[in-house]
Copies of this chain bind each other. A is one copy, B any other.
Amino acid sequence: MAANNRQVILAEKPQGKLTLANFQFAETEMPVPAEGEVLVKALYVSLDAANRAWMQGVTYRSALETGAVMAGGSLAEVVESRAEHLAPGDLVFAETGWQAYAAVPGKHLAKLPRVEPLTHLLSVYGVTGLTAYFGLLNVGQPKPGETVVVSAAAGAVGSLVGQIARIKGCRVIGIAGGAAKCGWIKDELGFDEAVDYKAGDVRRQLRGLCPNGVDVYFDNVGGDVFEAALFNMANHGRIVCCGAVSQYDDVPPAHGPRGVPGLIVTKRLRVEGFVVMDFYAGRDAALAELRGWVEAGKLKVQEDVIDGLENLPAALIGLLAGENRGKRMVRVG
């Protein structure tokens, strides 16, 4: 193949907030798959707060290296296969990094169904949907009638968490930034209440809305909002630790939330982290249930698709600033 490959390089790790200057663009030769590998073409690159966390150091994967292609996953199409179970035209989710083409090991790739729209494979039927599903149901274990609070409620995971909690018979309160997002999660997604963290003290707002306390708090943000929820938990409440986006895009915080571990003792709380891969044994059943809800119109899927590989750095910076609604991705192909 004569065409070149376009790449986004992590030129320099951010010291404080991520900026465009941390990235560079490159053109290289088209990669050639080795035995067992497949050459894939990225269709949509997934954008996640985790992209930024990886720059902080070792998380559940290795830290990123400067000078290398920026790490990330994509919905991709097989162009050339040297792996037995995959053929050109197959759709896969692959760790391509931020580039138009990648040669990746075929071993861990599974052929995905061609659903309509394809983008749902990155949102509700992808890591995002499964994170919301397993985090809320398997870790949080909400019971009908309980009060569930979710932060980053207008985001990719949060918008699904709140709707799934409603489907399961819970009262749902979303925390989001700004009146527009707060109105949207109530009016369009059916949340019972919304807390605008930009409009005043979250701890006091939650106290007013949850006089009997919060049974499940699904945390996507960490920091002050985590602390506000912690102080409002009911006895035997559960905090699902999914991410800490408020902590990623800056120097590591100098301190953690007050009330740890004191309130965890006196309220008998369970505070639990998870990584979605730990629950993949139950993936097929989860996807079937998610699909049923989507097809019945009970679960609305919001996507935020930006065009062009060259817009990846700005798309991530914007995501960290909370400008997206629902699942953000960049169309490359």
Contacts of A259 in B (CB 8 A): 256
Chain A count of residues within 8 A CB distance of the other chain: 39
Given the complex, which residues of B lie within 8 Å of A270, measured CB to CB? 270-273
Contact: A252 with B260, CB < 8 Å? no
Residues of B within 8 A of A266 (CB): 53, 59-60, 273, 275
The 9 A-B pairs of least Cβ separation, nearest first, read A255-B255, A264-B273, A256-B256, A265-B273, A256-B260, A241-B261, A271-B271, A59-B266, A241-B264
* A219 x B261 contact (CB < 8 A): yes
Q: Interface with B: A100-108, A182-190, A242-250, A319-327, which one?
A: A242-250
A262 touches B278 (CB 8 A): no
Q: Which of chain B's residues has its CB closest to A243's CB?
A: B265
CB-CB under 8 A from A244, the residues of chain B are 261-262, 265
Q: Nearest CB to that of A244 among chain B residues?
A: B262
Let me know if A85 is at the binding interface, CB within 8 A.
no
CB distance from A117 to the nearest CB of B (A): 30
Measured between beta carbons, the chain B residues less than 8 angstroms from A258 are 252-256
Q: Look across to chain B and name the residue whose beta carbon is closest to the beta carbon of A248.
A: B262
Cβ-closest chain B residue relative to A235: B60
Least Cβ–Cβ distance between A293 and chain B, in angstroms: 26
Residues of the B chain whose Cβ atoms lie less than 8 Å from the Cβ of A97: none
Tell me if A226 is interfacial: C-beta within 8 Å of chain B: yes
User: In the complex, what distance in Å separates the CA atom of A104 from the CA atom of B275?
Assistant: 50
Kindly identify which residue among B227, B262, B263, B271 contacts A264, using a CB–CB cutoff of 8 Å: B271
Q: A222 in the interface, Cβ–Cβ < 8 Å? A: yes
A226 contacts which of B260, B267, B278 (Cβ < 8 Å)?
Answer: B260
Q: A274, B278: Cβ atoms under 8 Å?
A: no
Are the CB atoms of A272 and B264 closer together than 8 Å?
yes
CA distance A19 to B59 in the complex (A): 45
The docked-state distance in angstroms from the alpha carbon of A242 to that of B59 is: 28
In the complex, how many angstroms separate the beta carbon of A278 from the nearest chain B beta carbon? 6
A275 contacts which of B239, B243, B254, B268 (Cβ < 8 Å)?
Answer: B268
A144 within 8 A of B: no
Nearest B residue to A278 via CB reads: B268
Within 8 A of B (CB), among A46-74: 53, 59-60
Residues in chain B near residue A269, CB distance under 8 A: 272-273
Given contacts A256-B255, A256-B256, A274-B268, contact A261 B59 (CB under 8 A): no
A257 at the B interface (CB under 8 A): yes
